[in-house]
Amino acid sequence: MIASVVREIIAPALRGCPPACGIVTITRVEVSQDASYATVYISALKEPKLALASLEERLREIQHQVGKKLQIRLTPRVRFRLDESGERGAKIEQLIDRQLQE
């Protein structure tokens, strides 16, 4: 439930990322067992670090919106991370292709 609320609040904020980032998406939201943290993984088509910086600049506002929407005693602290699983997958695929060609 908490993860879906966090996703719902952050999704519109992605539109505020600079156009240079290309398409920015939330790949997953992980909430710690004690619900003290909500880690939001994002990916961006062109400039992922710029997208991450843009979201972190608005973190205070986003955090406030999460607290307001959840209305629970302890609001999870939102933190953003780049989802590098796509890049890792591409690297692994390249290594496999290289091995098959040898």
Query: What average pLDDT score do residues 41-48 get?
Result: 92
User: Which of these CATH numbers, 1.10.3720.10, 3.30.300.20, 3.30.420.10, 3.40.50.620, describes 2-101?
Assistant: 3.30.300.20
Cβ(17)–Cβ(50) under 8 Å? yes
Q: Kindly report the pTM of this predicted structure.
A: 0.81
Q: Is the pLDDT of residue 102 over 90?
A: no
For 52-90, write each residue's pLDDT tens digit.
Answer: 999 999 999 999 999 999 888 889 999 999 998 766 656
Q: Using CA atoms, how far apart are residues 61 and 8, in angstroms rounded to an integer?
A: 14
Q: What is the mean pLDDT of the chain?
A: 89
pLDDT at 10: 92
